[in-house]
Amino acid sequence: MRRLGSVQRKMPCVFVTEVKEEPSTKREHQPFKVLATETISHKALDADIYSAIPTEKVDGTCCYVTTYKGQPYLWARLDRKPNKLAEKRFKNFIHSKQNSKEFFWNVDEDFKPVPECWIPAKDTEQLNGNPMPDENGHIPGWVPVEKNNKQYCWHSSVVNYEFEIALVLKHHPDDSGLLEISAVPLSDLLEQTLELIGTNINGNPYGLGSKKHPLHLLIPHGAFQIRNLPTLKHNDLLSWFEGCKEGKIEGIVWHCNDGCLIKVHRHHLGLCWPIPDTYMNSKPVIINMNLNRYDCAFDTKCLFNHFSKIDNQKFGRLKDVILDI
C-alpha cells in the first residue's frame, strides 16, 4: 500500500462552501457557519478525488516527525501569525471590496517572532527565501517538542527520546476490527504527520483518561481507512454520517494520488461534533508494548512504564483503557 500524504497545511473542503449568517456550532463566538453546497470543488476534481483513499479525520492536534539534533523528533504545530497591526490591516483588506488586488505582506515586520528552532511547513510558498503566509494570513510551521517544555507536556508524554519510541494507536496488523496501542520507533515515523489525541486535547472527544490520570496517544494520518463510503454526493454523505456506525467520526480526509488532501467535516454538513459514541470507541483495543528489548527501566511516572504494566491486556473500548498508576 502506498504511503499516504502528510498534513502540512489547512485542507480544502471537498465541496464548494458558502457562509451562512448564523452562530457557528464549531467555534464559540463565531457569528457565522461555513456550510458545504452540493457542488464538488475544482480543487477536489483537479486532484482526482474519485480515485482518492478516504480516511477518518481524527480530532486532535497535528504533529510531525522529522530530524532534530541528529535524531528523530516529534514536532508540534506552531503557525506564525501576524501581529495586531498587520492582522487588523489584513482583516480590513478581506472585508473591503479590493479583493481583486493582492495583499502585500512584509514578513520581517508583520509577524510575531517564533523560536529559532521553528521551521516552516513543507510546500509553504517562498518569496526571496522567506516563507509566505497562506490565504488565512498564517505561515504554517513546526517546533520540536523538547522533553521538559511545559507548553508541550502532553506531546512530550507520548515520546521517549532515550529509546527513540512513540506511543501510537492504529489498527492491529492482523485484525482490522481491533485497535492496538504500541511503542513504535520514531525512525519508522520519519516525515509523517500524526494526530495527538487525549485527555487535554480539544476537549477530549474520545473520552481518554481522566484529569487525575491523563492519557494521550498518536495516530498516524491516514491510519483509519474507510472501506464502504457512499457515492460522493452531499445527501449520501449526510445520510452516512447520520445513519451508519462508521459515520460516527469527525470527518473524512481523502488522500489523493498527487499527495493533495481534501476533507469534509461534520460541521460542513450542518451536523454536530463532538458526539457521545464515536466509531473509534466501538472497537476493542489491545496493548502491545513489547518493551523487554530495552535494557534500562523507564521513568516510573511515564506513560510507557504504565502501559508496560498492562501489556497484552485487551479492553472493550478505547475509553476503557485504565492505567495502573
Strand partners, 225: 55
Strand partners, 89: none
SS3 213: coil
* Sequence-ordered alpha helix ranges (H) in the chain: 42-46, 84-95, 107-110, 153-156, 234-243, 303-308
Ordered strands of the 53-57 beta sheet:
53-57, 251-255, 261-265
The closest of 2, 54, 5, 1 to 194, measured between CA atoms, is: 5
Q: What are the residues whose beta carbons fall under 8 Å from the beta carbon of 173, sequence distance 6 or more?
A: 180
State the pTM of this model: 0.94
**Predicted confidence pLDDT, tens digits, the chain (325 residues):** 456 778 888 899 999 999 987 776 666 666 778 999 999 999 999 999 999 999 999 999 999 999 999 999 999 999 999 999 999 999 888 887 555 578 899 999 999 999 999 999 998 999 888 999 998 899 999 999 999 899 999 999 999 999 999 999 999 999 999 999 999 999 999 999 999 999 999 999 999 999 999 999 999 999 999 999 999 999 999 999 999 999 999 999 999 999 999 999 999 999 999 999 999 999 999 999 988 877 667 888 899 999 999 999 999 999 999 876 5
For residue 315, give the amino acid letter: F
User: Residue 325's Cα: distance from chain center in Å?
Assistant: 28
Q: What is the pLDDT of residues 291-321, one digit of tens each?
A: 887 766 788 889 999 999 999 999 999 999 9
Map out the domains of the chain as residue ranges: 15-78+143-320
In angstroms, the Cα distances linking 109 to 106, 112, 178, 263 are 6, 8, 51, 33
Alpha-carbon distance 207 to 157, whole Å?
Answer: 17
The closest of 270, 68, 230 to 149, measured between CA atoms, is: 68
- The string of DSSP letters for 21-82 reads SS--SSSTT---EEEEEEEEPHHHHHTTGGGSEEEEEP-SEEEEEEEETTEEEEEEE--B-B
